[in-house]
Every structure is written in C-alpha cells, then in structure tokens.
Chain A
C-alpha cells in the first residue's frame, strides 16, 4: 500500500493545488509542502523496506483489465526504491526552487510539477508492463507544457523536438508492449517469461535510448535543457533520464536475454561513443546549461556501459552512479539557475570571478563540482570505478574509453567552475549580484549533503540494490516475487 500512497500523494496534491484558488506564494508553498511530505513518506517506506529480502516489497496488485492480463501492480526492489528516493528529493528541491523564484501561473505550474513527480515515482514502481508504459508516457504530458509555457525564448522549438523524439520512441515501445503482452498472455512483469524477439527488444531499447538520451538519439537534449525552466531541466536530467536506466534493468535485460546478448557490442559501442562525444561537447559548450546538459548525456552513456557490462560490478556501479548523478545533476542545474538569475546570462563569456565576495556560492559550487568530476573518495568515483571494472570484462577498450570519459569529465567540470568562480570578472557579473541567499542554500545543501553521505558510504546503495548483491544473477533468473 505504501507504494500506492507514494504515487497518490503528489497526484492528489496536484489536484488540490490546481483547484484551490490560493494566492501565489501560498499555492507554491502548498506544493512544496506536498513535496516535502512525499520525501517524508519515502523515508517511512525506506525504513519499512527490508533490504536483505530481495523480493518485491511494499507492493499492491489489483486486476485492471483481466481479459488482457493487465493489472495495477506496483512495488519496489532495492534499486528502484533508491531511484524513487532521489526522485522525491530532487522533486522537492525543484519545487522549492520554483517557490523561491516565483513562477507565473503557480497553480498550473505546481500542479504539473507534482503530477510529474507522481508519474516518475509510478514508473519506478510499476510491475506491469502497461502500467509502466502509462507512467512513462504520463511524464511527457506535464513536461510538454512545463517547457512549452514556462520555457525560454525558443521554447516552442524545444517542445516540438522533445515531443517528436520521445513520442517516436514511446510509440515504438507501445507496439512492443502490445506484441510482448499478447504473446505472453500477461502484461505483468513478475509473471511474464522471456522473449527472444529482437524487434520487440528494439522497440523498448529505442524508447529508453531517447529518454536517457543515448547517442545518437540525443537530438532533443540541447534545446530542451537550455529552454526549459532550470528546475524542470534539473528534473529532466536528474530523474526522468533514470527511468530509461530503470527500463533497461527491469525490462530490457531480464526479459530479452538473447537479443541483449546479440546486441551488447553495438550498444556498448554507442554508449562509449556517447560518453566521449557528450564529454567533448560539454567541454566545447559556450554556456553553463550546455555544459551540464552534455555532461548529463555523457554520464548516461557511462551508466549504460555499466548496465550492459551485464555483470555484478557493472550493474551495481550503474545503479550507484544513477543515484549519484541524479543528485549532482539536480544541484548543478539549480546552481546554474542561481548564477543565471544573478547575471542574466549563462554564457561563459559574460561570467567569471564570482568567487570573490560570494563565499557560499563558491563553496557549494566547488563541492558539487568536485563530486561531479569524480575525485577519489566521492560517490561518483565509486560508481565510475565499479562501472569501469565491470565493463573491463567486456573488453579493455571500453574500460579505457570509460577512463578517458572521467578525464574529460574533470576537464569540463573544472572549466565550468573556473569560468564561473575564477578568471577575470565577466561583464555580466555586477557587484549587486549577491551571494547565495539562505533560502537557496537550503535547497541545494540537502542535495550536496546526500552526496557527501553517499561518498562516505557508497555501499549503502550499491550493496542493497539487488537480492544478495548479485544483480547479474537476479537479472538472468528474473526478479523474485
């Protein structure tokens, strides 16, 4: 039941926020309160969760469309409860940021944000293929409007490319869902067996590759991440992209062992290409959002390497890295938003020298950046190390490229830090641009603290994600009930 509550709370919150004619701040505050309650509810859920069990927990299952074998069936495994955890935390931070900034038409805005939260949580909890599709698609509805209405100057082009890319992927997935469900006679992810049909797998894989995004399906990324309101971009890159990883882990690998075997090499090559290509683009990007956006694409390539390494190390690393990257990417995007608000631009040419007189900004940005570039001892270092060790078994070349990716990550992250904090003060940086206010710190600091905790204890996530910490075995034998 707890899982259902986790999905329903933001949904009901969204309806209430949309319906109550409250003043602007009260509406946003109410939404933030709902988001915080959702975090609290998740903490309760995590406390009740038995990480040693390995089976499906906190679940509910109800028949929905019996004649086709569709059910409303939700629940969590170790790795998905962690993904749901970062979802509620990042959503709370994003909604808090929207409250701080004061978005126009707050009722619609916050209702959509809460709806988005519910959809992402439902995606991570879905144990029925159709329910998964429903929540996966439902994410698109609020995102479309959030970018299209509250986005920047080129928002309409951004929404168009975003929707076209994601819907092409999603509808291919719908065809695959139908084919898989009808052949299996059930849509339940728990009950259904495996399939050796490459085309059905490709339908899923393309949908996930677009959502992540993986090279070469990333065409929507630069515009969407640049034009979206910054907290929406944070949600998009931090948690929406992780639904793709969840899809690979919950559906792609366990349900299609043979197609995955056949296609591992091309997927690994594409992921490695995406990692290098994204890193280079991030290094070349002329603005803050470009750096964070392309770095997100590079990181998704790295995580995919871990997933398709197909062994314990790689998959553990992928889950850890997903959680860590969600926190980093969200804090980086929020920090970028705060810098942009102060300077009126995210162009690197206009920025610089902000460390002087703004110690809090400098400290928080540096801390987030240092974790992002995976210094030894950070959560990302642990994640990347696991992924490299895992993918090494598939071939030393992939490991070498992944290691190169880490070097490149250091380059682009340091470029971002120095372009904002150091070098000469840019023309857009005026003395009136203040240090971070306490409200802003209160939004970013929890994310950074989570990262620090995870850095101190990465095994918290990586060893509790799968039954007996044997992910490869779980994926090969199917998830336990």
Chain B
C-alpha cells in the first residue's frame, strides 16, 4: 500500500469552494431551463468567490505560522491567505461586472470557467514547489485562454486568445525549462529545499532562475515580456480583461516574490538587480506606450504594464517592508483596475463599440456616477491623494529607499510624471469635451439600467478611497502576511 500524505482540507478550502462553484455552474448550464441559467450560474460563481474569500480570511486568522502541506508541495501561510482574499473579492466583483454582458448563450460555461480560473489562482499562490507552481499557472492560464476567446463571434476576441495562447504557452515552456534546470542543479523541487541545497552560483541554477523569472514575468506582464498584453486586453471581453488585469497580476506577483525569497535567498544579489531592471523597463515601456494609445482598453493595458513596474520595485526591495508595500499596493490597484474596466464595459455596452478616448467625450457629465468613479480611478493610478494609489506608491518608494535603491525611487517618480499625461487625458476627454461637440450620440438612447455594474464600480471606489483612509489596518494585515516569508 502506498503511503499517502495527509491533506489539510481546511487550507485548500478556498480552492475547493471555487471548484465546487464551477461544478455547480456547469451542471446549471445543462440541467436548468435556459431562462434560469444566467442568473443561477452567476449567483453560484459569486457565492463561490465570496465563500473563497471568507474561507481564506479564516485560514489567515488560523495560520499564525507558515506550514508546509501535502509533502511540502503547498504552503499554508498568511501571505497566501491574504492574496486569496484579494483574489476572491476581485473575482466576486468581476462577476458583477460580467452580469449584463450581452451574450446569447454560454452563461453557465462562462461563470464556470471564471470560477475555475479563480480556483487555479487561489491554488497557485499557495504553491510550495516548482511542480505545484507550474500546475497552478497552467490551470488558470488554460481557463483564461478560453475566456479571452469567449466572444467567439468577434474576430478580435479569437485573435487575442490565439496570441495569448501562443505567447503564454511559450512563457510556460520557458518556466518549465527553468524549473528543470533548477532541479538539475539542486535535485530538489520544493522552494525551501532548493534554498537548503545551497547550490551557490551554479550556472544551471542561475540560468534556471533567470528562465523561471522570465516565465513569471510573462504572467505579470512586465516589460519586455509584455507584448501580448495590449492585444489580449483589447480583444478579450472587457469583464475578462478586468479579471486578468487585477487577479492574474496579483497572483503572479505574489508567487514571484515568494519563489524568489524562499527558494533563492542566496542569489538575492542577482535577482534583485534583475527584478529592478524588469521594473525599470516596465515603467519606461508601459508609460511611453500608454501615451500613444487611443483605445481605452489598450491604454489601460499599458498602464497595467507600468504598474507591474511599480509592484516589481517592491519585489526588488526584497525586504519585509517591500512585501508589505506589495500587498498593500495590490489592494487599491486591483480595485482601480477592475473599476476602470467596469466603466469601460459600461460605455462599451452603451455605445455598442470599442471605447476610444473620443467616445468618452461627455461621459463625465452624462453619467455622473461612472464619470466621477473613472476620475477617481485615474487619479488613483496616478498616485493622487485621497486614493490608495498614493500610499501604494509611497510605501513602494519608501521600501526601495530603505533598501538603498534610491535610484528606483527616481525612476518611479519620473514614470509617475509621464503617466499623468495619459491618465489626466482620460479625465480631459470625459469632462472637458462634450459629446455634443463631437456629435457622438449614444447608440440606443439612455443606457440599460445595470445595478450590478454600478455596484461593482461603487465597491471599487469604496476600496480605492477607503484604502487611503484605512491604510494602517491594511498595512497591519500585510505585515502579518509578510512575516510568513523568511527575511
């Protein structure tokens, strides 16, 4: 008889909740009459995400010290649990954003895939060895490939999915190859065992580390591994884009940090420089690229690349303070990201075509709630006060300054200056040009009443602004989570 490791079902419960929700949503797609499918499957996915967030919160509460699970392939700690809470809440809000998407069929499948992707991410952030890491990565990536192509009647959606599939597949292959090299150098797969093997500056190990980092950089869409981002964000259904920009980035960023800190502490002088370079390239490329965009989803895609740069500054700090900064930053960033894409979705549904800067004209005055919200998100992205974006940048900068990377602070400040040009340009188009002036009438009169989307936007505003005033409680949670990494 084969000896099986004991399984800590409680630690896996967030993943299981989402998988369960996905299963129910799939059953719904088959068993219930068509008119009930959308409502029930959306509700199931929403409950799944909320349940996952709640369970993760409970795990957070019950896991003061980090534990390795299931033959040390998974980790139960507060870092994973806090990220899972962020992912769960993000997913729940994305369900609200998706609710009024105009789609004839496939509701059950859509929500099932969304919940499965969420389950994959929730699993991914708890990864404790290179195999579970790869498994989690592929798990949510495969779901996302399908979700991106979900509007199969739009060529752009299919094209985006194909690009994502090819580039993402390439990234995964690089990651896998890197894992193989690391295994070759150390004979170990577990993060802490790799560190314990003490292979030093072995060439295979360093090459493997570089390739794993590159593979993860594809997922966080850090330049120069970002090429897929604008096309995929533009082509994917907007609610899926919202999910990817917030959740994928959060999950991959936390895993990157965990992997680097737990598996490669000896090589930290190498990877901190590599990550700092990635951060700088992302900041430069993302911000300059965003300046040239007219399509709002592309603009936000480049903005997300530049935010990957800010988050990587926190990773490069390689300190407890950097981890706190990263986790704090993810909270307002996820909210602003989902919120901004939600407003884009609202405008898209209203006009029935892709949203460019021109088609934002007059939005601020015609739709005051969405206008003010978008304004807040743009100010938040740019790091203005009264939004969590300011504290995000402040914490990241102070972590970098604390680790002696003062030049990263200057790069970040310069990038923020450039970013103002396009963030404020959005505000300018919303408020300072009227739709009448440009003879741009909405497609079908007043927009459809969409309370779910309005709730999602309201929640995003609440988090964006609330994280400014309640910075300390969030930072306390982040500090608890950061304590589970060995610094």
Contact = CB atoms under 8 A, between A and B. Distances in A.
B397 interface: yes
Contacts of B185: none
Interface stretch (A136-144, A291-299, A384-392, A402-410): A136-144
Interface in A68-123: 68, 70, 105
A175 B401 CA distance: 9
A171 B416 contact: yes
A181 B409 CA distance: 14
Contacts of A144: 424, 427
A137 B398 contact: no
Contacts of A130: 394
Interface stretch (B26-34, B232-240, B382-390): B382-390
A401 interface: no
A211 interface: no
B417 A175 contact: no
B217 interface: no
Nearest to B394: A178
Contacts of B394: 68, 130, 174, 177-178
B194 to A, nearest CB: 31
B424 A163 contact: yes
B401 A63 contact: no
The B interface, classified by DSSP as helix, strand, loop or mixed, is helix
B273 to A, nearest CB: 21
A177 B289 CA distance: 29
Given A68-B395, A148-B428, A175 B413 contact: yes
Interface in A129-180: 130, 133-135, 137-138, 140-141, 144-145, 148-149, 155-156, 159, 163-164, 167-168, 171-172, 174-175, 177-179
Contacts of B413: 171-172, 174-175
Contacts, number: 81
Given A178-B398, A182-B398, A149 B420 contact: no
A167 B420 contact: yes
Contacts of A156: 428, 432
B386 A149 contact: no
A457 interface: no
Contact of B472 (A63, A137, A164, A167): A63
B378 to A, nearest CB: 11
A20 interface: no
Contacts of A179: 401, 406, 409
A67 interface: yes
B440 interface: no
B111 interface: no
A155 B472 contact: no
Contact of A134 (B386, B402, B420, B424): B386
A68 B409 contact: no
A106 B102 CA distance: 37
Contacts of B379: 141
B471 A65 contact: yes
Interface in A348-373: none
A396 interface: no
Contacts of B397: 174-175, 178
B410 interface: yes
A66 interface: yes
Interface string B414-442: 00110011001001100110000000000
Contacts of B420: 163-164, 167
Interface residues of A, number: 36
B398 A181 contact: yes
B402 A182 contact: yes
A105 B366 CA distance: 12
B475 interface: yes
B374 to A, nearest CB: 13
B12 interface: no
B114 to A, nearest CB: 35
B354 to A, nearest CB: 24
A58 to B, nearest CB: 22
Contact of A68 (B365, B386, B398): B398
Interface in B394-412: 394-395, 397-398, 401-402, 406, 409-410
A148 B475 contact: no
Given A130-B394, A178-B398, A137 B384 contact: yes
Nearest to B395: A68
B416 A148 contact: no
B301 to A, nearest CB: 23
Interface string B440-478: 000000000000000000000000000000011001000
Contacts of B416: 171, 174
Contacts of A177: 394
B376 to A, nearest CB: 10
Contacts of B472: 63-67
A145 B417 contact: no
Contacts of A145: 427, 431
B390 A134 contact: yes
Contacts of B479: 67
A144 B397 CA distance: 26
A150 to B, nearest CB: 10
A478 B178 CA distance: 57
Contacts of A141: 379, 384, 386
B385 A168 contact: no
A256 to B, nearest CB: 18
A138 B385 contact: yes
B370 interface: no
B128 to A, nearest CB: 28
B475 to A, nearest CB: 6
Nearest to B479: A67
Contacts of A138: 384-386
A156 B437 CA distance: 15
B478 to A, nearest CB: 9
Nearest to A147: B432
Interface in B201-259: none
Contacts of A149: 431-432
B309 to A, nearest CB: 15
A63 B472 CA distance: 9
A116 to B, nearest CB: 13
22 contacts: A63-B472, A64-B471, A67-B475, A67-B479, A68-B398, A70-B471, A134-B386, A134-B390, A137-B390, A138-B386, A141-B386, A144-B424, A148-B431, A148-B432, A156-B428, A164-B421, A167-B417, A168-B417, A171-B416, A172-B413, A178-B409, A179-B406
Interface of A: 63-68, 70, 105, 130, 133-135, 137-138, 140-141, 144-145, 148-149, 155-156, 159, 163-164, 167-168, 171-172, 174-175, 177-179, 181-182
Given A67-B479, A155-B432, A182-B402, 5 more contacts: A137-B385, A141-B379, A148-B431, A171-B417, A175-B397
Interface of B: 324, 365, 379, 383-386, 390-391, 393-395, 397-398, 401-402, 406, 409-410, 413, 416-417, 420-421, 424, 427-428, 431-432, 471-472, 475, 479
In the A-B complex, the 6 residue pairs with the smallest Cβ-Cβ separation, listed nearest first, are A134-B385, A178-B397, A148-B432, A175-B413, A171-B413, A137-B385
